[in-house]
Structure 1
Amino acid sequence: MEHKVPHRKEWIEARKKLLQKEKDFTKLRDKLTQQRRDLPWEAVSKSYIFDGPNGKVSLADLFNERSQLIVYHFMFSPNSPSNHLDSQDYFYIIYYKGRVY
């Protein structure tokens, strides 16, 4: 994909217009996020079991005695091509300085 490389003044003007849209979007997203946080919680009654590096682990085990768990769920089927991100011209990286369990 070819990208236009304009003169700096033109880029700054375009960036300022986009920045305002980004700020408006951020305010809207923050309101929506708060509404999601305000929703009542739901008890998990199903027993979920996962394959961990040291064997089977439950959903509760994944919390590692903490109150919250961050999960990135990549919704690819087992039959999805392994190069899906490559085919979309994406590179995905997670950077985390803390300990990985």
Structure 2
Amino acid sequence: MVKRLDQLPLVDHKVDPRLEDRYRRRLHSPQSLAPNMRSRRIQLGALGLSAVLTGYIVLFADFGPEDHCFSPVRRWFNIKRHSFWSLGDRERQDLKEQGRL
């Protein structure tokens, strides 16, 4: 059986006026709205950790041999990584001329 709101009994909460005044002062102070330093550090740490984990999952996590939604990004990343860590034709020729290769 569902009761309507006007049929429910009224509850009278007795609150100490001193506590109510203290609560209202804290609620309306500007410091109560600003995040403290600890919560800001936790927020930045969580943001950094989520960015690192997202990068790891997209670029390095093992999803098996079949293609998946991150395959194009991984192919692009592997091409860029290979071009960064390998020598180009010009660099290889310069090193041969210097006798270092």
- With the length of structure 1 as denominator, give the TM-score of the two structures: 0.30
- With the length of structure 2 as denominator, give the TM-score of the two structures: 0.30
Structure with bigger gyration radius? 2
Higher normalized contact order (CA 8 Å, seq sep 6+, divided by chain length) = 2
Higher helix share: 2
